[in-house]
Amino acid sequence: MSDALSSLHIFNSLSGKKELFRAIEDNHVGIYVCGPTVYSNVHLGNCRTFISFDLVYRYLRHLGYSVRYVRNITDAGHLEHDADDGEDRISKKARLERIEPMEVVQRYTVDFHQTLAAFNTLPPSIEPTATGHIIEQIEIVKGIIANGLGYEVNGSVYFDVQKYNSTKHYGVLSGRKLEDMIHNTRSLSGQSDKRSPQDFALWKKAEPQHIMRWPSPWGDGFPGWHLECTAMSTKYLGEQFDIHGGGMDLKFPHHECEIAQCEALNQKSPANTWMHANMLTLNGKKMAKSTGNNILPNELFNGSNPVLSKAFSPDAARFFMLQAHYRSILDLSSDALEAAEKGYKRLIQGIELLPDLPTSNESSVDINAHIDTYYAAMNDDFNSPVLIAQLFETVKLVHLLKKGEETLTAADVEKLSNSVHEFVFDVLGLTLATKEKDNTYLDKALSVLIDLREQARANKDFSTADRIRDELLAKGIQLKDGKDGTTYGLST
Protein backbone atom coordinates (compact mmCIF):
# COMPACT_ATOMS: atom_id res chain seq x y z
CA MET A 1 0.00 0.00 0.00
CA SER A 2 1.21 3.48 -0.76
CA ASP A 3 1.42 6.16 1.94
CA ALA A 4 -2.00 7.49 1.09
CA LEU A 5 -3.49 4.03 1.51
CA SER A 6 -1.82 3.14 4.80
CA SER A 7 -2.55 6.21 6.89
CA LEU A 8 -6.15 5.63 7.87
CA HIS A 9 -6.93 7.24 11.21
CA ILE A 10 -10.11 6.35 13.10
CA PHE A 11 -11.60 8.10 16.12
CA ASN A 12 -11.68 5.47 18.84
CA SER A 13 -14.44 6.06 21.42
CA LEU A 14 -12.39 3.99 23.87
CA SER A 15 -9.44 6.40 23.92
CA GLY A 16 -11.33 9.53 22.82
CA LYS A 17 -8.67 10.09 20.14
CA LYS A 18 -8.03 9.58 16.46
CA GLU A 19 -5.65 6.64 16.13
CA LEU A 20 -3.69 5.18 13.24
CA PHE A 21 -5.59 2.07 12.18
CA ARG A 22 -3.71 -1.21 12.08
CA ALA A 23 -5.58 -4.44 11.42
CA ILE A 24 -4.92 -7.30 13.84
CA GLU A 25 -4.28 -9.65 10.93
CA ASP A 26 -2.45 -8.00 8.01
CA ASN A 27 -4.95 -7.60 5.27
CA HIS A 28 -8.09 -8.73 7.10
CA VAL A 29 -10.51 -6.57 9.06
CA GLY A 30 -13.25 -7.85 11.34
CA ILE A 31 -16.05 -5.39 12.06
CA TYR A 32 -19.16 -5.88 14.16
CA VAL A 33 -22.07 -3.44 14.06
CA CYS A 34 -25.12 -3.72 16.30
CA GLY A 35 -28.12 -4.27 14.05
CA PRO A 36 -31.80 -3.45 14.49
CA THR A 37 -34.41 -4.85 16.86
CA VAL A 38 -37.02 -5.94 14.36
CA TYR A 39 -40.28 -5.03 16.07
CA SER A 40 -41.21 -1.97 13.98
CA ASN A 41 -40.26 -0.20 10.73
CA VAL A 42 -36.65 0.89 10.70
CA HIS A 43 -36.47 4.60 11.42
CA LEU A 44 -34.42 7.13 9.56
CA GLY A 45 -31.98 7.71 12.42
CA ASN A 46 -31.07 4.01 12.33
CA CYS A 47 -30.65 4.25 8.56
CA ARG A 48 -28.11 7.01 9.10
CA THR A 49 -26.13 4.74 11.45
CA PHE A 50 -26.10 1.88 8.94
CA ILE A 51 -25.22 4.23 6.05
CA SER A 52 -22.29 5.52 8.16
CA PHE A 53 -20.98 1.99 8.68
CA ASP A 54 -21.65 1.16 5.03
CA LEU A 55 -19.23 4.00 4.20
CA VAL A 56 -16.66 2.48 6.60
CA TYR A 57 -17.12 -0.99 5.07
CA ARG A 58 -16.88 0.35 1.51
CA TYR A 59 -13.74 2.41 2.19
CA LEU A 60 -11.94 -0.45 3.96
CA ARG A 61 -12.69 -2.63 0.92
CA HIS A 62 -11.53 0.13 -1.40
CA LEU A 63 -8.22 0.22 0.49
CA GLY A 64 -7.82 -3.46 -0.34
CA TYR A 65 -8.73 -5.05 2.97
CA SER A 66 -10.65 -8.27 3.01
CA VAL A 67 -13.43 -7.33 5.43
CA ARG A 68 -15.72 -9.58 7.41
CA TYR A 69 -18.66 -7.35 8.31
CA VAL A 70 -21.01 -8.85 10.89
CA ARG A 71 -24.28 -7.08 11.66
CA ASN A 72 -26.82 -8.85 13.83
CA ILE A 73 -30.60 -8.96 13.81
CA THR A 74 -32.10 -8.73 17.29
CA ASP A 75 -35.10 -11.01 16.97
CA ALA A 76 -35.33 -12.32 20.52
CA GLY A 77 -36.65 -8.96 21.59
CA HIS A 78 -35.10 -6.99 24.32
CA LEU A 79 -36.53 -5.32 27.30
CA GLU A 80 -38.28 -1.98 27.08
CA HIS A 81 -36.31 -0.38 29.87
CA ASP A 82 -32.69 -0.48 30.91
CA ALA A 83 -33.91 -1.62 34.30
CA ASP A 84 -34.45 -5.12 32.84
CA ASP A 85 -37.99 -5.18 34.22
CA GLY A 86 -39.88 -4.14 31.11
CA GLU A 87 -41.61 -6.26 28.53
CA ASP A 88 -39.94 -7.92 25.58
CA ARG A 89 -40.62 -5.57 22.63
CA ILE A 90 -41.17 -8.30 20.05
CA SER A 91 -43.51 -10.27 22.32
CA LYS A 92 -45.45 -7.12 23.11
CA LYS A 93 -45.93 -6.28 19.44
CA ALA A 94 -46.96 -9.88 18.71
CA ARG A 95 -49.53 -9.81 21.50
CA LEU A 96 -50.95 -6.44 20.39
CA GLU A 97 -51.18 -7.46 16.74
CA ARG A 98 -52.29 -11.05 17.56
CA ILE A 99 -49.59 -12.60 15.44
CA GLU A 100 -46.70 -14.97 16.01
CA PRO A 101 -43.50 -13.30 17.29
CA MET A 102 -41.64 -14.73 14.28
CA GLU A 103 -44.22 -13.04 12.03
CA VAL A 104 -43.28 -9.70 13.60
CA VAL A 105 -39.61 -10.53 13.09
CA GLN A 106 -40.14 -11.56 9.46
CA ARG A 107 -42.21 -8.49 8.56
CA TYR A 108 -39.75 -5.97 9.95
CA THR A 109 -36.63 -7.81 8.83
CA VAL A 110 -37.96 -7.58 5.27
CA ASP A 111 -38.72 -3.87 5.77
CA PHE A 112 -35.21 -3.32 7.14
CA HIS A 113 -33.55 -5.07 4.19
CA GLN A 114 -35.69 -3.29 1.60
CA THR A 115 -35.04 0.13 3.12
CA LEU A 116 -31.29 -0.38 3.39
CA ALA A 117 -31.20 -1.73 -0.18
CA ALA A 118 -33.00 1.43 -1.34
CA PHE A 119 -30.19 3.43 0.28
CA ASN A 120 -27.72 1.26 -1.66
CA THR A 121 -26.00 -0.13 1.43
CA LEU A 122 -24.05 -3.35 0.90
CA PRO A 123 -25.31 -6.39 2.79
CA PRO A 124 -23.01 -7.52 5.62
CA SER A 125 -20.87 -10.66 5.22
CA ILE A 126 -22.80 -12.38 8.02
CA GLU A 127 -26.15 -11.31 9.46
CA PRO A 128 -26.68 -13.60 12.46
CA THR A 129 -29.83 -13.62 14.56
CA ALA A 130 -30.14 -13.72 18.33
CA THR A 131 -32.61 -16.64 18.23
CA GLY A 132 -30.13 -18.63 16.14
CA HIS A 133 -27.49 -18.30 18.87
CA ILE A 134 -29.28 -19.22 22.10
CA ILE A 135 -26.91 -22.14 22.80
CA GLU A 136 -23.85 -19.89 22.44
CA GLN A 137 -25.44 -17.32 24.75
CA ILE A 138 -26.18 -19.92 27.43
CA GLU A 139 -22.54 -21.09 27.24
CA ILE A 140 -21.35 -17.52 27.86
CA VAL A 141 -23.63 -17.17 30.90
CA LYS A 142 -22.19 -20.44 32.27
CA GLY A 143 -18.65 -19.14 31.68
CA ILE A 144 -19.32 -15.82 33.44
CA ILE A 145 -20.87 -17.67 36.43
CA ALA A 146 -17.86 -20.02 36.52
CA ASN A 147 -15.54 -17.01 36.63
CA GLY A 148 -17.43 -15.68 39.65
CA LEU A 149 -18.98 -12.64 37.94
CA GLY A 150 -22.53 -13.89 37.39
CA TYR A 151 -25.08 -15.01 39.98
CA GLU A 152 -28.46 -16.73 39.73
CA VAL A 153 -31.59 -15.60 41.58
CA ASN A 154 -35.01 -17.22 41.00
CA GLY A 155 -34.22 -18.47 37.49
CA SER A 156 -32.58 -15.25 36.30
CA VAL A 157 -28.83 -14.63 36.06
CA TYR A 158 -27.26 -11.22 36.64
CA PHE A 159 -23.82 -9.75 36.06
CA ASP A 160 -22.12 -8.63 39.27
CA VAL A 161 -21.01 -5.13 38.28
CA GLN A 162 -19.52 -4.16 41.65
CA LYS A 163 -17.35 -7.27 41.83
CA TYR A 164 -16.24 -6.75 38.22
CA ASN A 165 -15.40 -3.12 38.94
CA SER A 166 -13.14 -4.12 41.85
CA THR A 167 -10.56 -5.34 39.31
CA LYS A 168 -11.68 -3.74 36.02
CA HIS A 169 -13.31 -0.44 35.10
CA TYR A 170 -17.06 -0.62 34.42
CA GLY A 171 -17.46 2.62 32.44
CA VAL A 172 -14.20 2.43 30.50
CA LEU A 173 -15.98 3.22 27.19
CA SER A 174 -18.50 5.84 28.31
CA GLY A 175 -16.11 7.54 30.74
CA ARG A 176 -18.41 6.89 33.71
CA LYS A 177 -17.47 5.93 37.24
CA LEU A 178 -19.40 3.26 39.11
CA GLU A 179 -19.36 5.35 42.31
CA ASP A 180 -21.17 8.17 40.49
CA MET A 181 -23.68 5.75 38.98
CA ILE A 182 -24.44 4.31 42.42
CA HIS A 183 -24.72 7.81 43.88
CA ASN A 184 -27.24 8.82 41.20
CA THR A 185 -29.47 5.74 41.43
CA ARG A 186 -32.50 5.43 43.65
CA SER A 187 -32.56 2.20 45.62
CA LEU A 188 -34.76 -0.53 44.18
CA SER A 189 -36.39 -1.14 47.57
CA GLY A 190 -36.77 -4.86 47.09
CA GLN A 191 -38.47 -4.68 43.66
CA SER A 192 -35.70 -6.64 42.01
CA ASP A 193 -33.69 -9.80 42.52
CA LYS A 194 -30.54 -7.90 41.66
CA ARG A 195 -27.86 -7.38 44.31
CA SER A 196 -27.23 -3.88 43.04
CA PRO A 197 -29.18 -1.60 40.65
CA GLN A 198 -26.20 -1.47 38.27
CA ASP A 199 -26.19 -5.25 37.77
CA PHE A 200 -27.63 -6.26 34.41
CA ALA A 201 -29.45 -9.39 33.27
CA LEU A 202 -27.53 -12.08 31.42
CA TRP A 203 -30.54 -14.40 31.42
CA LYS A 204 -34.13 -13.66 32.41
CA LYS A 205 -36.66 -16.11 33.73
CA ALA A 206 -39.72 -16.28 31.45
CA GLU A 207 -43.02 -15.63 33.18
CA PRO A 208 -45.83 -18.01 32.13
CA GLN A 209 -47.30 -15.47 29.64
CA HIS A 210 -43.95 -14.83 27.97
CA ILE A 211 -44.09 -16.20 24.40
CA MET A 212 -40.42 -16.33 23.39
CA ARG A 213 -38.67 -18.75 25.76
CA TRP A 214 -35.91 -21.32 25.73
CA PRO A 215 -34.85 -24.04 28.21
CA SER A 216 -31.64 -23.34 30.13
CA PRO A 217 -29.81 -24.68 33.20
CA TRP A 218 -31.74 -22.01 35.18
CA GLY A 219 -35.17 -22.91 33.81
CA ASP A 220 -37.16 -21.50 30.87
CA GLY A 221 -36.10 -17.99 29.96
CA PHE A 222 -34.57 -15.69 27.39
CA PRO A 223 -31.22 -13.93 27.00
CA GLY A 224 -30.49 -10.46 28.39
CA TRP A 225 -30.21 -7.50 26.04
CA HIS A 226 -26.41 -7.34 25.78
CA LEU A 227 -25.58 -11.02 25.56
CA GLU A 228 -26.30 -11.75 21.89
CA CYS A 229 -23.69 -9.30 20.57
CA THR A 230 -21.00 -10.86 22.75
CA ALA A 231 -22.02 -14.34 21.54
CA MET A 232 -22.14 -13.45 17.85
CA SER A 233 -19.10 -11.17 17.69
CA THR A 234 -16.98 -13.79 19.50
CA LYS A 235 -18.27 -16.61 17.32
CA TYR A 236 -17.69 -14.91 13.95
CA LEU A 237 -14.80 -12.52 14.65
CA GLY A 238 -12.96 -14.06 17.59
CA GLU A 239 -12.31 -12.93 21.16
CA GLN A 240 -10.57 -9.81 19.85
CA PHE A 241 -11.39 -8.09 16.60
CA ASP A 242 -10.70 -4.77 14.87
CA ILE A 243 -13.79 -2.55 14.96
CA HIS A 244 -17.04 -2.55 16.91
CA GLY A 245 -19.62 0.00 15.85
CA GLY A 246 -23.12 1.18 16.60
CA GLY A 247 -25.27 4.21 17.25
CA MET A 248 -24.16 6.72 19.89
CA ASP A 249 -27.13 5.70 22.08
CA LEU A 250 -25.68 2.19 22.41
CA LYS A 251 -22.43 3.32 24.03
CA PHE A 252 -24.00 3.03 27.46
CA PRO A 253 -25.15 0.65 28.76
CA HIS A 254 -25.13 -1.75 25.79
CA HIS A 255 -21.51 -1.53 24.66
CA GLU A 256 -20.21 -1.04 28.18
CA CYS A 257 -21.94 -4.30 29.15
CA GLU A 258 -20.54 -6.08 26.09
CA ILE A 259 -17.01 -5.12 27.17
CA ALA A 260 -17.69 -6.28 30.74
CA GLN A 261 -19.09 -9.62 29.52
CA CYS A 262 -16.07 -10.28 27.28
CA GLU A 263 -13.59 -9.27 29.98
CA ALA A 264 -15.40 -11.49 32.48
CA LEU A 265 -15.37 -14.40 30.06
CA ASN A 266 -12.02 -14.12 28.23
CA GLN A 267 -10.09 -11.50 30.22
CA LYS A 268 -9.89 -9.54 26.97
CA SER A 269 -11.53 -6.38 25.66
CA PRO A 270 -13.40 -7.46 22.52
CA ALA A 271 -12.60 -4.71 20.01
CA ASN A 272 -9.52 -2.53 19.47
CA THR A 273 -11.53 0.34 18.00
CA TRP A 274 -15.03 1.42 19.02
CA MET A 275 -16.90 3.66 16.60
CA HIS A 276 -20.15 5.50 17.32
CA ALA A 277 -22.35 7.19 14.74
CA ASN A 278 -24.21 10.28 15.86
CA MET A 279 -27.93 10.86 15.65
CA LEU A 280 -30.25 12.43 13.14
CA THR A 281 -32.59 15.16 14.37
CA LEU A 282 -35.64 16.60 12.57
CA ASN A 283 -36.07 20.39 12.40
CA GLY A 284 -33.67 20.80 15.32
CA LYS A 285 -35.43 18.37 17.64
CA LYS A 286 -34.91 14.76 18.59
CA MET A 287 -37.06 12.41 16.51
CA ALA A 288 -39.71 10.60 18.51
CA LYS A 289 -42.87 8.81 17.47
CA SER A 290 -44.62 10.03 20.62
CA THR A 291 -44.23 13.75 19.79
CA GLY A 292 -44.95 13.34 16.07
CA ASN A 293 -41.53 14.85 15.27
CA ASN A 294 -40.71 11.79 13.24
CA ILE A 295 -40.26 10.71 9.64
CA LEU A 296 -40.10 7.24 8.11
CA PRO A 297 -37.82 6.38 5.17
CA ASN A 298 -40.84 5.71 2.95
CA GLU A 299 -42.35 9.11 3.73
CA LEU A 300 -39.08 10.63 2.60
CA PHE A 301 -39.12 8.69 -0.67
CA ASN A 302 -42.76 9.53 -1.50
CA GLY A 303 -42.90 12.99 0.08
CA SER A 304 -46.00 12.15 2.14
CA ASN A 305 -44.75 13.60 5.42
CA PRO A 306 -46.07 17.17 5.98
CA VAL A 307 -42.62 18.46 7.02
CA LEU A 308 -41.38 17.86 3.46
CA SER A 309 -41.95 20.11 0.44
CA LYS A 310 -41.54 17.18 -1.96
CA ALA A 311 -40.29 13.60 -2.34
CA PHE A 312 -36.56 12.89 -2.19
CA SER A 313 -34.79 9.98 -3.85
CA PRO A 314 -32.84 7.59 -1.60
CA ASP A 315 -29.73 8.71 -3.48
CA ALA A 316 -30.30 12.39 -2.63
CA ALA A 317 -31.03 11.43 1.00
CA ARG A 318 -27.86 9.34 1.15
CA PHE A 319 -25.85 12.23 -0.28
CA PHE A 320 -27.44 14.54 2.31
CA MET A 321 -26.36 12.21 5.13
CA LEU A 322 -22.81 11.82 3.79
CA GLN A 323 -22.41 15.60 3.63
CA ALA A 324 -22.16 15.47 7.44
CA HIS A 325 -19.42 13.65 9.33
CA TYR A 326 -20.69 10.48 11.00
CA ARG A 327 -19.72 11.76 14.47
CA SER A 328 -21.69 15.03 14.09
CA ILE A 329 -25.37 15.43 14.83
CA LEU A 330 -27.19 15.92 11.54
CA ASP A 331 -30.39 17.93 11.36
CA LEU A 332 -32.84 16.97 8.67
CA SER A 333 -35.21 19.56 7.19
CA SER A 334 -36.89 20.01 3.85
CA ASP A 335 -34.61 22.96 3.02
CA ALA A 336 -31.45 21.03 3.91
CA LEU A 337 -32.57 18.10 1.75
CA GLU A 338 -33.34 20.39 -1.19
CA ALA A 339 -29.92 22.03 -0.89
CA ALA A 340 -28.27 18.58 -0.81
CA GLU A 341 -30.29 17.45 -3.83
CA LYS A 342 -29.13 20.49 -5.83
CA GLY A 343 -25.52 19.83 -4.85
CA TYR A 344 -25.86 16.19 -5.77
CA LYS A 345 -27.19 17.09 -9.24
CA ARG A 346 -24.30 19.50 -9.75
CA LEU A 347 -21.84 16.74 -8.84
CA ILE A 348 -23.48 14.25 -11.20
CA GLN A 349 -23.56 16.80 -14.05
CA GLY A 350 -19.83 17.33 -13.54
CA ILE A 351 -19.16 13.58 -13.60
CA GLU A 352 -21.14 13.21 -16.81
CA LEU A 353 -18.73 15.59 -18.55
CA LEU A 354 -15.70 13.41 -17.75
CA PRO A 355 -15.84 11.06 -20.78
CA ASP A 356 -15.89 13.93 -23.30
CA LEU A 357 -13.17 16.13 -21.82
CA PRO A 358 -10.63 17.51 -24.30
CA THR A 359 -7.12 16.10 -23.85
CA SER A 360 -3.75 17.70 -24.35
CA ASN A 361 -0.06 16.80 -24.69
CA GLU A 362 0.65 18.21 -21.27
CA SER A 363 -1.15 18.43 -17.95
CA SER A 364 -1.35 21.81 -16.25
CA VAL A 365 -2.63 20.17 -13.05
CA ASP A 366 -0.90 17.58 -10.81
CA ILE A 367 -3.64 14.97 -11.00
CA ASN A 368 -2.03 12.63 -8.44
CA ALA A 369 -2.00 15.41 -5.87
CA HIS A 370 -5.62 16.15 -6.76
CA ILE A 371 -6.65 12.51 -6.21
CA ASP A 372 -4.61 12.32 -2.98
CA THR A 373 -7.02 14.86 -1.47
CA TYR A 374 -9.79 12.22 -1.71
CA TYR A 375 -7.67 9.77 0.27
CA ALA A 376 -6.60 12.42 2.76
CA ALA A 377 -10.26 13.17 3.51
CA MET A 378 -11.30 9.56 3.99
CA ASN A 379 -8.13 8.65 5.92
CA ASP A 380 -9.06 11.36 8.40
CA ASP A 381 -11.72 9.32 10.24
CA PHE A 382 -13.86 8.73 7.13
CA ASN A 383 -14.44 12.45 6.57
CA SER A 384 -17.07 12.23 3.82
CA PRO A 385 -18.03 15.95 3.92
CA VAL A 386 -14.43 16.90 3.12
CA LEU A 387 -14.32 14.23 0.39
CA ILE A 388 -17.51 15.70 -1.13
CA ALA A 389 -16.02 19.20 -0.95
CA GLN A 390 -12.95 17.87 -2.83
CA LEU A 391 -15.23 16.28 -5.43
CA PHE A 392 -16.80 19.71 -5.99
CA GLU A 393 -13.26 21.01 -6.57
CA THR A 394 -13.02 18.31 -9.22
CA VAL A 395 -16.26 19.56 -10.80
CA LYS A 396 -14.71 23.06 -10.96
CA LEU A 397 -11.62 21.57 -12.60
CA VAL A 398 -13.78 19.70 -15.11
CA HIS A 399 -15.43 22.96 -16.19
CA LEU A 400 -12.01 24.65 -16.53
CA LEU A 401 -10.77 21.72 -18.63
CA LYS A 402 -13.85 21.97 -20.80
CA LYS A 403 -13.19 25.66 -21.40
CA GLY A 404 -9.51 24.95 -22.11
CA GLU A 405 -8.33 27.00 -19.13
CA GLU A 406 -6.59 23.94 -17.68
CA THR A 407 -5.24 20.90 -19.57
CA LEU A 408 -4.79 17.19 -18.90
CA THR A 409 -3.21 14.39 -20.91
CA ALA A 410 -5.46 11.52 -21.99
CA ALA A 411 -3.81 9.29 -19.36
CA ASP A 412 -4.50 11.86 -16.63
CA VAL A 413 -8.12 12.30 -17.73
CA GLU A 414 -8.54 8.54 -17.48
CA LYS A 415 -6.88 8.45 -14.04
CA LEU A 416 -9.14 11.25 -12.78
CA SER A 417 -12.22 9.68 -14.28
CA ASN A 418 -11.48 6.29 -12.68
CA SER A 419 -10.82 7.83 -9.27
CA VAL A 420 -13.96 9.95 -9.32
CA HIS A 421 -16.03 6.90 -10.25
CA GLU A 422 -14.45 4.83 -7.49
CA PHE A 423 -15.03 7.46 -4.82
CA VAL A 424 -18.52 8.50 -5.88
CA PHE A 425 -19.97 5.07 -6.64
CA ASP A 426 -17.84 2.51 -4.76
CA VAL A 427 -16.90 4.51 -1.65
CA LEU A 428 -19.78 6.96 -1.16
CA GLY A 429 -22.18 4.38 -2.55
CA LEU A 430 -24.10 6.85 -4.70
CA THR A 431 -25.79 5.63 -7.84
CA LEU A 432 -26.95 7.00 -11.16
CA ALA A 433 -29.47 4.19 -11.63
CA THR A 434 -32.66 6.20 -11.08
CA LYS A 435 -31.53 9.10 -13.19
CA GLU A 436 -30.57 6.90 -16.15
CA LYS A 437 -33.81 4.96 -15.98
CA ASP A 438 -36.03 8.02 -15.61
CA ASN A 439 -34.39 10.21 -18.19
CA THR A 440 -34.15 7.98 -21.27
CA TYR A 441 -37.67 8.71 -22.46
CA LEU A 442 -37.59 12.28 -21.21
CA ASP A 443 -34.43 12.88 -23.27
CA LYS A 444 -36.13 11.52 -26.40
CA ALA A 445 -39.33 13.53 -25.89
CA LEU A 446 -37.42 16.73 -25.20
CA SER A 447 -35.19 16.32 -28.24
CA VAL A 448 -38.39 16.36 -30.35
CA LEU A 449 -39.52 19.62 -28.67
CA ILE A 450 -36.06 21.16 -28.99
CA ASP A 451 -36.01 20.35 -32.75
CA LEU A 452 -39.49 21.87 -33.22
CA ARG A 453 -38.32 25.02 -31.46
CA GLU A 454 -35.21 25.21 -33.67
CA GLN A 455 -37.41 24.90 -36.76
CA ALA A 456 -39.79 27.59 -35.52
CA ARG A 457 -36.87 29.94 -34.92
CA ALA A 458 -35.42 29.19 -38.35
CA ASN A 459 -38.84 30.11 -39.82
CA LYS A 460 -38.85 33.30 -37.68
CA ASP A 461 -41.95 31.96 -35.86
CA PHE A 462 -40.69 33.32 -32.52
CA SER A 463 -44.06 33.13 -30.78
CA THR A 464 -44.12 29.31 -31.20
CA ALA A 465 -40.46 29.04 -30.19
CA ASP A 466 -41.07 31.10 -27.04
CA ARG A 467 -44.23 29.20 -26.24
CA ILE A 468 -42.34 25.88 -26.23
CA ARG A 469 -39.67 27.37 -23.95
CA ASP A 470 -42.14 29.07 -21.55
CA GLU A 471 -44.54 26.15 -21.21
CA LEU A 472 -41.68 23.76 -20.48
CA LEU A 473 -40.38 26.19 -17.88
CA ALA A 474 -43.82 26.33 -16.27
CA LYS A 475 -43.56 22.52 -15.91
CA GLY A 476 -40.12 22.82 -14.27
CA ILE A 477 -37.95 22.08 -17.32
CA GLN A 478 -35.52 24.77 -18.39
CA LEU A 479 -34.05 24.92 -21.89
CA LYS A 480 -30.53 26.27 -22.10
CA ASP A 481 -29.12 27.57 -25.39
CA GLY A 482 -25.37 27.06 -25.68
CA LYS A 483 -22.62 27.01 -28.29
CA ASP A 484 -23.22 23.31 -28.97
CA GLY A 485 -26.99 23.55 -29.21
CA THR A 486 -29.82 23.44 -26.70
CA THR A 487 -29.81 21.30 -23.56
CA TYR A 488 -32.30 21.03 -20.74
CA GLY A 489 -32.23 20.91 -16.97
CA LEU A 490 -34.73 20.73 -14.15
CA SER A 491 -35.44 24.25 -12.93
CA THR A 492 -36.29 23.22 -9.35
Nearest approach, Cβ of residue 416 and Zn ion (Å): 41
The residue (of 256 and 412) whose beta carbon lies closer to Zn ion is 256
Nearest approach, Cβ of residue 164 and Zn ion (Å): 19
CA 176 to chain centre: 26
Size of the site for Zn ion (CB under 5 A): 2
**CA 315 – CA 40 distance, rounded (Å):** 23
Q: Which of 268, 225, 294, 275 is nearest to 40 (CA)?
A: 294
Q: Please enumerate in sequence order all residues whose Cβ is within 8 A of that of 222, keeping only pairs 6 or more positions apart, or say none.
A: 76, 77, 88, 203, 204, 206, 210, 212, 213, 214
Nearest approach, Cβ of residue 254 and Zn ion (Å): 6
The residue (of 34 and 295) whose beta carbon lies closer to Zn ion is 34
The residue (of 34 and 141) whose beta carbon lies closer to Zn ion is 34
* Beta-strand pair 66-71/150-153: unpaired
Beta bridge partners of 157: 152, 203
Nearest approach, Cβ of residue 62 and Zn ion (Å): 26
**CA 108 – CA 94 distance, rounded (Å):** 12
**CA 133 – CA 329 distance, rounded (Å):** 34
Binding mask 187-226 for Zn ion (x = CB under 5 A): ----------------------------------------
Residues in the chain: 492
Nearest approach, Cβ of residue 258 and Zn ion (Å): 6
The residue (of 270 and 429) whose beta carbon lies closer to Zn ion is 270
Q: Which stretch binds Zn ion (CB under 5 A): 26-34, 202-210, 361-369, 455-463?
A: 26-34
Q: Does 149 bind Zn ion (CB under 5 A)?
A: no
Q: Which stretch binds Zn ion (CB under 5 A): 30-38, 324-332, 339-347, 400-408?
A: 30-38
The residue (of 231 and 416) whose beta carbon lies closer to Zn ion is 231
The residue (of 274 and 312) whose beta carbon lies closer to Zn ion is 274
Query: What is the phi/psi pair of residue 200, to 5°?
Result: -125, 155
Amino acid, single-letter form, for residue 2: S
Q: Which stretch binds Zn ion (CB under 5 A): 31-39, 107-115, 288-296, 385-393?
A: 31-39
The residue (of 23 and 34) whose beta carbon lies closer to Zn ion is 34
Nearest approach, Cβ of residue 90 and Zn ion (Å): 16
CA–CA–CA angle 59, 423, 17 (5° rounding): 40
Q: Which stretch binds Zn ion (CB under 5 A): 17-25, 41-49, 113-121, 228-236?
A: 228-236
Scan residues 401-420 and list those touching Zn ion (CB under 5 A): none
DSSP code at position 184: T
The rounded radius of gyration (Å) of the Cα atoms in the chain is: 27
The residue (of 225 and 319) whose beta carbon lies closer to Zn ion is 225
Nearest approach, Cβ of residue 478 and Zn ion (Å): 49
Distances (CA, A) of 175 to 181, 257, 289, 411: 11, 13, 30, 52
Residue 45 CB: number of other CB atoms within 10 A? 21
Nearest approach, Cβ of residue 173 and Zn ion (Å): 13
Query: What is the phi/psi pair of residue 32, to 5°?
Result: -120, 130
The residue (of 229 and 357) whose beta carbon lies closer to Zn ion is 229
Beta bridge partners of 488: 479
Q: Does 73 bind Zn ion (CB under 5 A)?
A: no
Q: Do 222 and 212 contact (CB within 8 A), yes or no?
A: yes
Q: Please enumerate in sequence order all residues whose Cβ is within 8 A of that of 190, keeping only pairs 6 or more positions apart, or say none.
A: none
Q: Which stretch binds Zn ion (CB under 5 A): 34-42, 141-149, 160-168, 437-445?
A: 34-42
Q: Does 229 bind Zn ion (CB under 5 A)?
A: yes
Q: Does 34 bind Zn ion (CB under 5 A)?
A: yes
Q: Which residues bind Zn ion (CB under 5 A)?
A: 34, 229
